[in-house]
Amino acid sequence: MGEDAATRHVVVDKPAGTPLGLAVASAVFDRVRTCDNHCPFCFIYQLPKGMRRSLYVKDDDYRLSFLYGNFTTLTRFTELDVERVITEKLSPLYVSIHTTDPELRATMLRNPRGATSLRWLEILLDAGIEVHGQVVLCPGINDGAALERTLLDVLDQYGALASLGIVPLGLSDYSMEASLRAHTTEEAAGALDLVAAYQPLFQRALGRRLVHAADELYLVAGRPLPSVEDYDSLDQAENGIGLWAEFERAFSRRRGTLAVRPGFFQSVDGAPAIGYRAPHGTPAETDAGVRGRVVLVTGSYAAPLLDSLLERSGFGDVDVLAVENRFFGGNIAVAGLLCGEDVASAIARDGADATYLLPDSCVTNARFLDGTELSDLPAAVRVVETDGAALRRELETLSAHR
């Protein structure tokens, strides 16, 4: 503490269960540890110029992994860090594994420490720290035999992992890496077959399936998505692991999501928002009234799923507007990465005489990733929480007023 520092005792009188009303000024109170890896598949390298500065912050900070659920590679981890995590029980953490082959991992991270940093993972697991892992699957690099080795090593060395998510490479038109490409249908199916083959092995050895594939792999492979019962947990739903199963269950049961949103700060009142982890959504006063037909705006991946769900649930008169992501291009087709200029173009082609419902995952403080504001759209929209139960309530409310 500085020479001018002082201690002040304050008594706060508040009803039980209500927020304290204090806000934390900073997440870590010093500089965020930026990433010194140079992963060719990192999405930050695939962003165009001119976006919000916070989107270009590339962190590899275990503290943000605990606080916000960010994934870390552990390449900047130290003895002091592991001592702090274990002593203070900073759990859960989220670790990008990608591959357990030391040489391949160093190559993928473009960092020699990638070959040795998984030793920290073993220490954390031995100390009882809950860790969720992920593998970003790159075709022809860490899939196939390399993925099988990773699964075998997880079974042998890292069986205490809480979960392991297999997620496909997201590739925008701005990638400069000639070695990277999107998955083919056959490659996605091969990855799913490998996951399906190893789940029973994990079940017999550990009492749980442990490894699960992202929804996107099923969509690319053209296979039906699993149900909630096919997952050990939905702790990685925000990472696309069981996201649709969670959404569909919430929609059908009219109850909010049961998935855990990762990160300690997700449930702490007054926690600071940082960059892309800032709360989604928009002030309620920007919502539009009811007019014309009802149209759900979403990405290309979710559109056929929503279409089927609405038809089966008695909302067949609700239209679904699939927005192609031309801003990022490539194989980017999730709703959360939709940008304003693409949404505006899609609405203009569809016609303005409608009530458009937009998932709040598209916007932060009424702005899209490309800086477009809701007020720039050619029609007014109602922003709806990206949750099945919230969407159902909104549709039932609109039906009652039509």
Give the Cα separation of 83 and 66 in Å (integer).
Answer: 15
Give the Cα separation of 172 and 325 in Å (integer).
Answer: 10
Using a cut of 0.75, tell me whether the model's pTM lies above it.
Answer: yes
Count Cα atoms within 13 angstroms, Cβ side, for 341: 8
**Bond prior to 92 in cis (omega within 30° of 0):** yes
Could you tell me if 355 and 291 are in contact, meaning their C-beta atoms sit under 8 angstroms apart?
A: yes
pLDDT of residue 53: 81
The residue written with tokens 């939709």 in the block is 338
**CA neighbor of 313 nearest in space, from 250, 261, 372:** 250
pLDDT of residue 279: 61
Give the Cα separation of 297 and 380 in Å (integer).
Answer: 12
Could you tell me if 42 and 108 are in contact, meaning their C-beta atoms sit under 8 angstroms apart?
A: no
Count Cα atoms within 13 angstroms, Cβ side, for 306: 26
For the chain, the first-to-last Cα distance in angstroms comes to 62
CATH of domain 43-267: 3.20.20
Token duo for residue 402: 């039509």
Give the domain ranges of the chain: 43-267, 278-400
pLDDT of residue 286: 42
pLDDT in tens, the chain (402 residues): 456 667 888 888 888 877 777 666 556 667 778 899 999 999 999 999 888 887 888 889 999 899 888 999 999 999 999 999 999 999 999 999 999 999 999 999 999 999 999 999 999 999 999 999 999 999 999 999 999 999 999 999 999 999 999 999 999 999 999 999 999 999 999 999 999 999 999 999 999 999 999 999 999 999 999 999 999 999 999 899 999 999 999 999 877 665 656 776 565 555 556 554 566 665 444 445 677 889 999 999 999 999 999 999 999 999 999 999 999 999 999 999 999 999 999 999 998 789 999 999 999 888 899 999 999 999 989 999 999 999 999 999 998 876
Give the Cα separation of 344 and 338 in Å (integer).
Answer: 11
